[in-house]
Amino acid sequence: MSEWILETKNLTYQYSAGTPFEKTAVEDVSIRIGKGEFIGVIGHTGSGKSTLIQLLNGLLRPTRGQVLLNGRDIWQEPKKIRAVRFQVGMVFQYPEYQLFEETVLKDLMFGPKNMGLSDEEAAARAREAAAFTGLRPELLEKSPFELSGGEKRRAAIAGVIAMDPEVLILDEPTAGLDPRGRDVLLAQITQYHKKRGNTVLLVSHSMEDIGRTAGRLLVMDHSRAAMLAPTKEVFAKGEELEKMGLRVPQITKIVQELRALGCPVDPSTLTVDDALKQLIPYFKQKLPGKEAGPHAV
């Protein structure tokens, strides 16, 4: 029994292998992801992160190397690869386009029923998943097409959560949502992760979203895993990230510049709240004598 839920060994994937159009999308990636971790996956377009996550749940078969789930090669018995896809659940970009059933409830039951669960069990899973994503119970009897954009997105995520995967992979779950919708969805994913204690991989272009959710970050660059380290360590390397077409959260950039100006602020500060805790006392001491107005925090 391994403490690593997911592990890759020299994982390599080539599109059109053996033809003149051969292109290596994932090259020699060896990473380990622990049970219950919340991992952020970043990398610019074409860095290989989409290919990597498809390898992790068995949608693509490696050209070379291995993907181990709970210590077992997922391709050991290719006929059982479907079971892997239930254990490693994947929420694709814009998943709301994949809703298709007559009612939201039926849609959420589709995955569990495919796994062989009875109607009652599937319905129970569906209701639980709906609650996790903040989908109001009265919406379950509606047609998916009557839901708003944000509700559809949550229904689609709930459909994957209903399969109760050990690993949940979300590809850009907040793309196109407004700031409020984004905050609510991220909070629900974080809560789900805390309560279920399962492993979550969040792929995102928003460094601000990643900064406030992930414990460790996997940085993909030119088909390789360039870094896999605690979020704070990764974001402390602003210059390296910029060379890879990435950046740090805005607030992190600001504190890093402040530090260069001699302010003793933690260069890996990831949220405005954390920055304020350090900067309010600093500025008050640095710029005394002129107490500003009667405002309070």
Partner 1 sequence: MAFIDIKDVCFSYDLEAGVKKDVLHHVSLQVERGEFVALLGHNGCGKSTLSKLFNGMLTAGSGQVLIDGLDAGLEENQLEVRRRVGLVLQNPDNQLVAGIVEEDVAFGPENLGVPPEEIRQRVDAALKAVDMYHYREHAPHKLSGGQKQRVAIAGIIAMETSCIVLDEPTAMLDPRGREEVMETITRLNKEKGITIVLITHYMDEAVRAGRVVVMDDGRILMDGAPREVFGQVERLKRHDLDVPQATELCYRLQAAGVNLPAIPLSVEECVGMFREMLGGRADERMDS
Where on the chain is the footprint of partner 1 (CB under 8 A)? 43-46, 93-94, 148-150, 172, 175-182, 205, 207-208, 245-247, 249-251, 253-254, 257-258, 261-263, 272, 275-276, 279-280, 283-284, 286-293, 295-297
- Asked whether 168 and 200 are in contact (CB, 8 A), the reply is yes
Closest approach of Cβ 45 to partner 1, in Å?
A: 5
Please give the Cα distance from 225 to 204 (Å, whole number): 16
> Max alpha carbon distance in the chain (Å)?
74
CB of 177 to partner 1, least distance (A): 7
The nearest distance, CB 41 to partner 1, in angstroms, is: 12
Nearer to partner 1, 5 or 275 (CB): 275
For residues 111 and 249, which CB has a smaller minimum distance to partner 1 in the complex?
A: 249
What is each CA distance from 186 to 75, 153, 261, in whole angstroms? 32, 12, 34
Task: Give the closest residue to 67 by CA, choosing from 32, 23, 101, 96.
Answer: 32
Q: Nearest distance from residue 54's CB to partner 1, in Å?
A: 18
- The answer to whether 27 and 224 have CB atoms below 8 angstroms apart is yes
CB burial of residue 111 (10 Å; 0-12, 13-18, 19+): buried
Q: How far is the CB of 260 from partner 1 (least distance, A)?
A: 9
Shorter beta-carbon distance to partner 1: residue 1 or 287 = 287
Give least dist CB 207 to partner 1, A.
7
Calpha distance 4→71 (Å, rounded) = 7
H or E segment to which residue 227 belongs:
strand 224-230
Beta-strand pair 88-91/32-34: unpaired
Which one, 74 or 169, has the nearer CB to partner 1? 169
The nearer residue to partner 1, 80 or 187, going by C-beta atoms, is 187
**3-state class (DSSP) for residue 132:** helix
Q: In the complex with partner 1, which residue's Cβ is closer, 27 or 171?
A: 171
